[in-house]
Amino acid sequence: MFVSTWMTVDFTVVIEQMPFGEIVCGSPGSGKSTYCYGKHQLFTAINRPIAVVNLDPANDTIPYPCAINISELITLKDVMGEFGLGPNGGMLYAMEYLEANFDWLEVKLKDLGSDAYVLFDLPGQVELSTNHDSIKKIVNRLVKNGFRLSAVHLCDAHYITDAAKYVSVLLLSLRAMLHLELPHVNVLSKIDLLKQYGELEFNLDFYTEVQDLSYLENSLSLSLPVRFSALNMAMVSLVEDFSLVGFETLAVEDKNSMLNLTRAIDRATGYVFVPPPDSKPPPEVVDKMDTAPDLRPNAYGLFSSAVGPIKGPLSDIRDIQERWIDEREVYDAYENRQWRKEGDALRDGLSKFEQTGQSTATR
Ligand SMILES: Nc1nc2c(ncn2[C@@H]2O[C@H](COP(=O)(O)OP(=O)(O)O)[C@@H](O)[C@H]2O)c(=O)[nH]1
Ligand SMILES: [Mg+2]
C-alpha cells in the first residue's frame, strides 16, 4: 500500500477573535442614530453580538441602549458654556478632547471583549468625516488596537430627486471615502420615503451604481446657469474617474433591507457570523433535524456561513425599486395582511392555550 506521507497537511483553522465595528457617519438627520437602534434590535433578535457607542456629545435623546456614552466624558452644552463657543466650534472641540483622552475610550472598549461588534454613532457635522483630523486619528488608533472597521456613510435618499443635490452627495461620499481610508459602504437612507418626493428621472440603479453620469447633463443644464452646470459636469466626471462611489439602500424598519445592508458591510470587513449552536435556525432554512446528518443543511458551519449566498430576498436593486417606488402600496397592503394573519394566529394560539389551561384546572 502506498502511503503518501508528504501529503499530511495540518488543516487546523485558528480562529482569532478580534473586535469588529462600523463608523456610522453622515449629515445631521440622515438616520445614523435610528440605524444604530434598528441594528441593535435586529442583532439582539438573531443572537449576534452588538454594542453601540454614542460619540455625539449633542445626542440628548439616545434611542438605543448605550454601551459607552461620550457625554460621560464631555457634553456640547458644557463646552459651549465654558469656552463661549457656538455649536459647531463646540463640536470640533469635543472631538479634539476625545482624541486627547483616547485612553478613556480604549479602556471602556476593552471591557466589551475581543469578540465585540461595535457601532460608533458619530456627530452629523460633515467636516468631521471629510476634513477634520480628530475622528480620522481616533479611527487609526482603533485600527491599531485590532479593530476591523468599515465606514457606513448614510445619505438621505431624498437628495437623488434633484440632479445638483445628487452631485453634492456624490462629492461628499467620495470625500469621506478618501479621508477616512476605511472599507466604505455608502447608503441611501430612508428609501421608503422616496416615493413621496415625486417621480425619479432615472431608475434607482442609475443612482446606486453611479455609472453613465453624463445623462445628468440635461437636468443640470435645465436647473442651473450654463457655467454652473458645466462645473457640475466637471465634478461628475471626476467622481466617475475615481470609480469608487456606489450606494446600498436602507429602509430601517424593513428587515430584508437591514439584512441586505448587513451582508454588504460584513463583506467589506470580512466578518463571518456563526450563530451559537443552541440558536433557532434562520427562517429561510428548512429545519431537517430529524433527517440523516448528510441531508441536513449545515446552516451554522463556519465555511457555509462564509460562502453562503450574498444576496438575500429583495436585494436586487430592481426589486428595491419595485418594493419602495413602483409598487409600494401593493407591497404595503400585502405586508399588512401578513402581519394581521400572524397577529390572529398568535391570538388564537393564546386563547386555545388559556382554554386548555382552564379545562385542565377544572377537571
Ligand atoms: N421613514 C424613515 N425615517 C427614518 C429612517 N431612518 C431615520 N428616519 C427618521 O429620520 C429622522 C432623523 O433620524 P436620526 O437617526 O435622528 O438622524 P441622525 O441625526 O443622523 O442621527 C428621525 O425622525 C427618524 O425617525 C428610515 O429608514 N425611514
Ligand atoms: Mg443622531
Q: How far apart are CA 212 and CA 250, in angstroms?
A: 23
| Nearest atom of ligand 1 to the alpha carbon of 59 | 21
Query: Quick check: 17 pLDDT over 90?
Result: no
Banded pLDDT at 12 (limits 50, 70, 90): low
Banded pLDDT at 286 (limits 50, 70, 90): low
DSSP 260-279: HHHHHHHHHHT------TTS
User: What mean pLDDT is reported for the chain?
Assistant: 86
From the CA of 153, the nearest ligand is 1
Residues lining ligand 1, judged by CB closer than 6 Å?
A: 26, 28-34, 124, 189-190, 192-193, 250-252
Banded pLDDT at 5 (limits 50, 70, 90): very low
Query: Quick check: 357 pLDDT over 90?
Result: no
Q: How far apart are CA 263 and CA 24, in angstroms?
A: 16
7 grid coordinates: 501529503
Helices (H) and strands (E) in the chain, counts: 14, 7
Say how many Å lie between the CA of residue 291 and the centre of ligand 1. 46
Instruction: Name which residue sits closest to atom 25 of ligand 1, judged by CA.
Output: 34
Say how many Å lie between the CA of residue 230 and the centre of ligand 2. 36
Tell me the three state secondary structure of residue 272: coil
Say how many Å lie between the CA of residue 25 and the centre of ligand 1. 13
| Nearest atom of ligand 1 to the alpha carbon of 189 | 27
**pLDDT score recorded for residue 165:** 94
User: Is the whole-model pTM more than 0.95?
Assistant: no
| Nearest atom of ligand 1 to the alpha carbon of 250 | 27
| Nearest atom of ligand 1 to the alpha carbon of 56 | 21
Average pLDDT over residues 254-269: 92
Q: Which residues pair with 184 in a beta bridge?
A: 151
Q: Which residues pair with 189 in a beta bridge?
A: 156
With beta carbons less than 8 A apart as the criterion, state whether 148 and 23 touch: no
Q: How far apart are CA 116 and CA 136, in angstroms?
A: 21
Pocket test for ligand 1, best of 24, 32, 34, 328 (most atoms within 8 A of CB): 34
From the CA of 192, the nearest ligand is 1
Of 151, 124, 184, nearest to 24 (Cα)? 151
Amino acid at the residue 274: V
Say how many Å lie between the CA of residue 24 and the centre of ligand 1. 13
pLDDT in tens, 25-44: 999 999 999 999 999 999 99
With beta carbons less than 8 A apart as the criterion, state whether 154 and 117 touch: no
pLDDT in tens, 314-327: 788 999 999 999 99
